[in-house]
Amino acid sequence: IDKERYRLRLYHNQEIDDKNYMLMQLNYLSDYKIIEHFFRDEFKSSPEPENYLIFGHRAERFTINLMLQKRLNDFFTALDRIPEASIDFSRKPIGDSPFYYQGKTAAAYLQQQWESKSANSNLVNYAAGRFDTDHTIYYPTKQFGFLNIIPRAGWRGTYYSKTKEDYTNITYSTRLDTNKQPVITSTTNVLARELNAQMRSVYKLGLETSFKAFKVWETYPGDIINNIRHIAEPYADYSWTP
């Protein structure tokens, strides 16, 4: 690490209007230790600062985002999105039915960039396109007048423009020992080869349950605080993915 060190940080958040916004953050560093050495508070929350540009649009039932994320410091490992477009549907009722829908769909071209000076420096960078869509149906109910039970069912599909497969390669070599006898040694390496595009599907089921209970602690006439309300809200969420 050189004695002369620097950091360039640019960030800008703007509400263009009531429905459109922009988020930007750029960090260019002299070395991978400068945040830890000089900006301890930032290091606790973001030891490897990201670089991104996001344009977003809010609507009543959904949010649309366009993200550009690119690594500027080659001593960090990063996943670049150049770009990623997504639409996020918040949980809303389906017409007049008792069911609710929530989902998210995203399409991106992703690049894995390994840090240049580390144990991973021998790994090869790779890239692929990905289309990911996730949809869930909820059925909210209230039992016994207080217990919320919300079963759900969903499906997630992910398409990759290319995939990889790990395989084991064993090579053998023969040499002669001091007694002129042949000695066979083997070397095992785990390698990867590129495969074609693939669509992966995941089905999932789940159940949320909760209730709220409260009681007023009657302390009147107290000197400072009177009639404190205590609230307890137990919550459980179970998920099952075959």
* pLDDT tens digits along 100-132: 999 999 999 999 988 886 555 567 788 999 999
pLDDT mean over 142-168: 93
Summarised one tens digit per residue, pLDDT across range 14-71 is 999 999 999 999 999 999 999 999 999 999 998 899 999 999 999 999 999 999 999 9
Q: How many CA atoms lie within 13 A of 221 on its CB side?
A: 0
The whole-number pLDDT of residue 229 equals: 85
Q: Which tokens go with 231?
A: 């609230």
pLDDT of the residue at 149:
97
Percent of the chain topping pLDDT 90: 66
CA pair distance 153, 5, nearest whole angstrom:
53
Mean pLDDT value of segment 65-84: 93
Q: What CA–CA distance (Å, rounded) separates 205 from 236?
A: 14
C-beta pairs of 53-58 under 8 Å, 24+ apart in sequence:
53/22, 53/23, 53/24, 54/22, 54/23, 54/24, 55/20, 55/21, 55/22, 56/20, 56/21, 56/22, 56/23, 57/19, 57/20, 58/18, 58/19, 58/20, 58/21
- pLDDT, position 181: 85
Highest mean pLDDT among 120-124, 150-154, 161-165, 195-199: 150-154
Distance CA 194, CA 61 (A): 40
The average pLDDT across 89-98 equals 94
Q: Which pTM was predicted?
A: 0.74
Structure confidence at residue 185 (pLDDT): 87
Q: Which one has a higher pLDDT value, 213 or 167?
A: 213
